């Protein structure tokens, strides 16, 4: 979709057909909003949020959007998606009904709320498709401004593809020498979020081709701009980002959202410069309206004045566009009325098709079930009532089928008929299909799954050289950069310094400033930068300097990265590696181990907790061979510990979810990880002196957790277990306890109550004593295991205190 020769002698010329087509799409989008809202108000859908009032600006944005470009936006963008053919009206309705089928709702397979948009970036095997030939959209999310961090990376990828020699050749299909723009969209009120400013600043520092549109309708739900922004005006505040005389910065524009010709012109001009010179752009599109209010959950009459509402009617962008078209002689009022009628009808038909497609398979399953229930009822009459109730119920969901099947099974319990067995099997299949329908793709399920990477143990020559931990990592990274042109590492002090512990030392000098680079102190957008790069075909390592500072990135990690593959039902992936270091330094913000928080907020990301640098290297190699997102927490006090350098540092792998038994013993199992491994081993030595043989197990990865049941096997021998961990009580230790006792059925082998030995509830104060009295220590482990043994044989193990 292009405007024919948009500029002639500096003045934009509009092609009549293109304008009419645009108007048609705008009107179609509006009717979809109106009818969509009705579907909610009449109870056929649960919730609706639409793009009404923002149509015209999005038509203009679509003009500027080229093949290979990528969008990172939010729930108002339906017109843009419709304009580029990335969304059909029928699909919009399928999403409204939560139609859980990729055929009907290809963006999220029915998993996301209405108004969330995405293109399918992966093929059915889970491999990234080429992007240069199509229009691309990263997958929307609901937290306001959460689309901004990854915008940094989507735009940054263009810079890398342009400036790293040979990259477009080595990694084909993602870029035409960096000529792609990353288009961001965001609401005015969402600009009050911290990550908005962090992302805007990062993009400005990096000077990358992002074109950010701010859709300003004056409100964030009911709260007007004066409560959102200093001076009540985001572009005024943004003026400091405006570049001057060829210097760095943005081009910042303010433009009315109802002015079609000016919007088209501004978008085309701004995009041309952004694309060519990589000048980032902010387009503050103001004077937008909300004809239907914010969403279906309330009405804006409650908080907007009659004057404001009257203004909104007058400045409705489609009305203004129509006036302009009539004034310009593009079309008559009658012609535009005809378009309006045609589109209204077309949207109704699309709605009907979407509804029918959604209902039909459920109706088929329902009649199957009713028939089965009737058969069961012949031997168990109570089931007849369940069948009647289900049959009478209109607009059934699969939930209703599951409930009816459950009730029938309960009512007919104790009887064993072939019909009842068929019912039980039918219910089992429904559960299985539903688990897949709603639960698939949390992790990679394809050939590239990190779980499929074969184990390659370290190999040592006859006299291996002993190196510091950081030097082992350095050798691993050096090999990885040489091997894989897609590999990019970035973070605070990562570039010139080679990270604060020198794991990346000298690699910037060797591989260039763009492959090993310094960033500002901005954890959320370091992660977002990596997500964007991964979406565009690269393999980023995002370094978060310390585990404690991960919290700044945790929201993006949880909401975007961890859910990406799952929420798109296998449509997108971002195999980012998050590199960080933690445990056992000293102080409130340098020794934390918030593993429970990470585990619970980030299902969808593998969490590796290597005890030394060799294991860490193995995890990097594993994750780089797979296509899952993963986090590796290196051990802070391990960088200066000596380890023998394996001769296969470039290829060795550590499999995910396979614990290692570090010391065998028959009396009690000590389960731990990371920096606590050597401490647990010391405790085991002390225990041996007391006549107790402890088995020490390093879990190696918390997600996935012990896929082979190594720990439960140990319990079968020892019948006692202690989980040791530096997290708070009930954190990662409780997670491990549940995995072993419940998932692995470990409880049945226990002769004594299971124990967790953790850090205190507060954070570790600074200083060695603060650490000693707040974290698990060698002596504490010895006493905990001793007490377990004493429970069984107090005479052999007299009280220690
Ligand atoms: C982090 C977060 N806080 C609150 C919300 C609830 N919420 C949804 S939309 C919205 C208002 C957004 O306003 P604006 O950015 O102006 O976008 P608009 O809907 O007006 O286009 C709020 C507060 C949310 N989705 N995410
Ligand atoms: Mg708003």
In the prediction, which pLDDT does 11 show? 73
Which residues are CB-contacts of 25 (< 8 A; sequence separation ≥ 6)? 55, 59, 79, 82, 83
Show the beta-strand stretches assigned E in 189-230: 210-215, 219-220, 223-224
| Binding site membership of 73 for ligand 1 (Cβ less than 6 Å) | no
Distance CA 674, CA 685 (A): 18
**Cβ of 221 below 6 Å from ligand 1:** yes
Cα 527 versus chain centre, distance: 11
Whole-number Å distance between alpha carbons of 150 and 535: 9
Instruction: Tell whether the model's pLDDT for residue 452 goes beyond 80.
Output: yes
CB contact at 8 A, 709 and 739: no
pLDDT per position as a tens digit, 24-38 = 999 999 999 999 999
For the segment 159-177, the average pLDDT, to the nearest whole number, is 98
CA distance 706 to 92: 42
Q: Which of these, 234, 245, 179, 240, lies nearest to 212 by C-alpha position?
A: 234
Kindly identify the ligand whose nearest atom is closest to the C-alpha of 76.
Answer: 1
- The SS3 call for residue 777 is coil
Return the minimum-mean-pLDDT range out of 637-641, 645-649, 719-723: 637-641
Task: Give 258-284 pLDDT, tens digit per residue.
Answer: 999 999 999 999 999 999 999 999 999
pLDDT at 9: 67
Query: In terms of DSSP bridges, do strands 660-663 and 694-698 run parallel, antiparallel, or are they unpaired?
Result: antiparallel
Mean pLDDT, the chain, rounded, equals: 96
- Nearest Cα residue to 358 out of 115, 104, 33, 89: 104
**Contact predicate 676/699, CB 8 Å:** no
Among residues 712, 675, 717, 727, the alpha carbon closest in space to that of 694 is found at 717
Separation between Cα atoms, residue 235 and residue 258, nearest integer Å: 18
Picking from 732, 758, 431, the residue whose alpha carbon sits closest to that of residue 602 is 732
**Cα distance between residue 397 and residue 248, in whole Å:** 56
Per-residue model confidence (pLDDT) at position 2? 46
Element of type H or E holding 94: helix 89-96
Kind and range of the H or E run holding 533: helix 523-535
User: For residue 228, which atom of ligand 1 is closest to its CA?
Assistant: 16
List, in sequence order, every beta strand (DSSP E) within 417-486.
466-468
Cα separation, 154 vs 530, whole angstroms: 9
Share of the chain above pLDDT 70, in %: 99
Ligand 1: does its nearest atom lie under 6 Å from the Cβ of 149?
no
The CA distance from 667 to 715, in Å, is: 9
Query: Is ligand 1 within 6 A of the CB of residue 217?
Result: yes
Contact indicator for 571, 107 with CB cutoff of 8 Å: yes
Which atom of ligand 1 is closest in space to residue 188's alpha carbon? 16
Contacting residues for 33 by C-beta, under 8 A, at least 6 apart: 50, 51, 52, 78, 291, 292
The residues with which 182 forms a beta bridge, in sequence order, are 70, 210
Which ligand has the minimum distance to the alpha carbon of residue 190?
1
Q: 167: part of which helix (H) or strand (E)? A: helix 167-170
Closest ligand 1 atom, residue 220 Cα: 13
Instruction: Supply the pLDDT for residue 6.
Output: 60
Alpha-carbon distance of 156 to 172, in angstroms, equals 17
Say how many Å lie between the CA of residue 440 and the centre of ligand 1. Answer: 29
What torsion, rounded to 10 degrees, do the Cα atoms 58, 59, 63, 65 define?
30
Q: Which residues contact 48 (CB under 8 A, 6 or more apart)?
A: 36, 37, 39, 40, 96, 114, 115, 295, 296
Euclidean distance between the first and final Cα of the chain, in Å?
81
**Burial zone of 88 (CB within 10 Å; 0-12 exposed, 13-18 middle, 19+ buried):** middle
CB 741 within 8 A of CB 754: yes
For residue 575, report the distance from its CA to the centre of ligand 1, in Å.
28
Give nearest CA residue, ligand 1 atom 8: 144
Looking from the CA of residue 295, the nearest atom of ligand 1 is 19
Q: What is the mean pLDDT of residues 648-676?
A: 98
Burial class (CB in 10 A: 0-12, 13-18, 19+), 793: exposed
The answer to whether residues 288 and 215 touch, using CB atoms and an 8 Å cutoff, is yes
- pTM for the full model? 0.97
- 116 classed as catalytic: no
> Which has the minimum average pLDDT: 77-81, 229-233, 766-770?
766-770
Mean pLDDT is lowest, of 458-467, 535-544, 579-588, for 579-588
Of 208, 227, 217, the closest CA to residue 274 belongs to 208
pLDDT recorded at residue 7: 65
3-state SS, one letter per residue, for 676-709: HHHHHHHHHHHHHHCCCCEEEEECCEEECCCCCC
Beta strand 755-757 pairing with 694-698:
unpaired
CA distances from 191 to 59, 209, 232, 253, 664 (A): 22, 19, 11, 16, 57
Ligand 1 site, residue 213, Cβ cutoff 6 A: no
Q: What phi and psi values does residue 580 have, to the nearest 5 degrees?
A: -150, 175
The predicted model gives 662-672 an average pLDDT of: 98
Of the residues 284, 583, 590, 600, only one is catalytic, namely: 590
| Per-residue pLDDT reduced to its tens digit, 201-214 | 999 999 999 999 99
Residue 779 above 90 pLDDT? yes
pLDDT of res. 395? 80
Residues 6+ apart with CB under 8 A from 421: none
Q: Tell me which ligand sits closest to the C-alpha of residue 218.
A: 2
d(CA 621, CA 676): 23
The pLDDT, as a whole number, for residue 1 is 43
Q: Give exposure, 633-645, as e/b (b: 16+ Cβ within 10 Å).
A: bbbbebbebebeb
| pLDDT above 90 for 431 | yes
In the predicted structure, residue 4 carries a pLDDT above the cut 80: no
Angle among Cα 336, 341, 344 to the nearest 5 degrees reads 125
Report whether residue 215 contacts ligand 1, using a CB cutoff of 6 Å: yes
Residue 3, pLDDT > 60, answer no
SS3 431: helix
Q: Is 678 in the pocket of ligand 1 (CB under 6 A)?
A: no
pLDDT digits (tens, 9 = 90+) for 785-798: 999 999 999 999 99
**pLDDT at residue 5 is higher than 80:** no
Q: With contact defined as beta carbons under 8 Å apart, do 326 and 336 qualify? A: yes
Q: Which residue spans within 98-250 are E strands per DSSP?
A: 136-137, 182-187, 210-215, 219-220, 223-224
CA distance 27 to 326: 16
State whether the Cα torsion 11-15-20-22 is positive or negative: negative
């Amino acid at each position: 979709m292009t405007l024919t020769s948009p500029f002639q002698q500096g003045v934009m010329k509009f092609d009549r057909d293109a304008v009419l087509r645009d108007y048609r799409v705008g009107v179609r989008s509006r009717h979809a909003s109106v009818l969509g809202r009705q579907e909610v108000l009449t109870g056929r859908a649960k919730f609706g949020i639409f793009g009404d009032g923002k149509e015209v600006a999005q038509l203009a944005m679509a003009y500027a959007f080229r093949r290979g470009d990528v969008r990172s936006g939010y729930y108002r963008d339906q017109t843009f998606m419709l304009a580029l053919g990335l969304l059909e009206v029928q699909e919009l309705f399928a999403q409204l009904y939560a139609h859980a089928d990729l055929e009907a709702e290809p963006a999220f397979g029915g998993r996301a709320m209405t108004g969330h948009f995405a293109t399918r970036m992966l093929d059915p095997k889970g491999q990234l498709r080429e992007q240069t030939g199509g229009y691309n959209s990263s997958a929307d999310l609901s937290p306001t401004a959460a689309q901004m961090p990854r915008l940094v990376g989507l735009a940054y990828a263009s810079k890398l593809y342009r400036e790293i020699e040979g990259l477009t050749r080595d990694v084909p299909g993602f870029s035409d020498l960096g000529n792609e723009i990353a288009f961001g969209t965001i609401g005015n009120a969402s600009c009050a979020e911290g990550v908005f400013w962090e992302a805007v600043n990062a993009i400005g520092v990096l000077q990358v081709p992002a074109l950010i549109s701010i859709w300003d309708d004056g409100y964030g739900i009911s709260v007007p701009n004066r409560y959102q922004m200093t001076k009540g005006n985001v572009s005024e505040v943004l003026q400091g980002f405006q570049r001057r005389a060829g210097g760095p910065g943005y081009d910042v524009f303010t433009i009315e959202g109802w002015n079609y010709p000016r919007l088209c012109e501004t978008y085309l001009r701004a995009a041309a410069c952004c694309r060519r010179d990589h000048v980032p752009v902010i387009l503050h599109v103001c004077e937008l309206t909300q004809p239907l209010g914010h969403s279906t959950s309330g009405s804006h009459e409650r908080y907007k004045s009659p004057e404001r509402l009257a203004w909104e009617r007058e400045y409705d962008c489609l009305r203004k566009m129509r006036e302009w078209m009539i004034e310009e002689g593009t079309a008559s009022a009658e012609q535009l009325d005809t378009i309006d009628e045609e589109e209204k009808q077309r949207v109704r038909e699309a709605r009907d098709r979407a509804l029918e497609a959604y209902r039909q398979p459920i109706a088929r399953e329902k009649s199957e079930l009713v028939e089965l229930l009737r058969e069961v009822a012949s031997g168990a009459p109570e089931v007849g009532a369940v069948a009647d109730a289900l049959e009478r119920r209109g607009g059934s969901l699969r939930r209703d089928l599951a409930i009816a099947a459950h009730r029938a099974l309960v009512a007919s319990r104790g009887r064993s008929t072939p019909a009842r067995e068929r019912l039980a099997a039918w219910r089992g299949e429904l559960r299985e299909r539903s688990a897949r329908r709603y639960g698939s793709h949390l992790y990679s399920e394809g050939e590239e799954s990190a779980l499929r990477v074969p184990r390659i143990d370290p190999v040592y020559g006859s006299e291996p050289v002993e190196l510091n931990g950081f030097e082992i990592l350095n050798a691993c990274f050096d090999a990885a950069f040489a091997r894989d042109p897609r590999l990019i590492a970035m973070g605070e002090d990562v570039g010139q310094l080679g990270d604060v512990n020198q794991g990346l030392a000298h690699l910037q000098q060797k591989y260039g400033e763009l492959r090993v680079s310094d960033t500002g102190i901005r954890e959320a957008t370091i992660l977002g930068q990596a997500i964007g790069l991964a979406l565009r075909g690269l393999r980023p390592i995002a370094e978060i300097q310390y585990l404690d500072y991960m919290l700044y990135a945790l929201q993006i990690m949880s909401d975007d990265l961890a859910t990406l593959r799952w929420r798109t039902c296998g449509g997108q992936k971002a195999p980012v590696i998050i590199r960080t270091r933690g445990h056992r330094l000293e102080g409130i913000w340098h020794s934390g181990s918030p593993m429970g928080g990470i585990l619970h907020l980030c299902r969808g990301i593998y969490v590796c907790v290597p005890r030394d640098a060799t294991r860490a290297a193995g995890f990097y190699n594993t994750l780089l061979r797979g296509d899952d997102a993963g986090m590796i927490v290196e051990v802070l006090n391990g960088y200066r510990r000596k380890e023998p350098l394996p001769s296969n540092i470039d290829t060795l792998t550590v499999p995910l979810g396979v614990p290692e038994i570090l010391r065998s013993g028959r009396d009690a199992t000590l389960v731990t990880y990371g920096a606590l491994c050597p401490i647990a081993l010391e405790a085991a030595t002390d225990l041996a002196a007391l006549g107790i043989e402890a088995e020490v197990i390093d879990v190696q990865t918390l997600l996935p957790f012990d896929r082979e049941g190594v720990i439960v096997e140990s319990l079968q021998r020892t019948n006692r277990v202690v989980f040791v961990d530096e997290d708070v009580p009930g954190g990662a230790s409780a997670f491990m306890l549940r995995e072993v006792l419940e998932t692995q059925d470990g409880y049945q082998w226990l002769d004594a109550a299971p124990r967790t030995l953790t850090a205190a509830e507060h954070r570790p104060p600074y200083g060695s004593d603060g650490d000693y009295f707040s974290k698990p220590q060698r002596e504490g482990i010895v006493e905990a295991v001793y007490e377990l043994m004493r429970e069984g044989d107090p005479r052999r193990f007299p009280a220690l205190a």
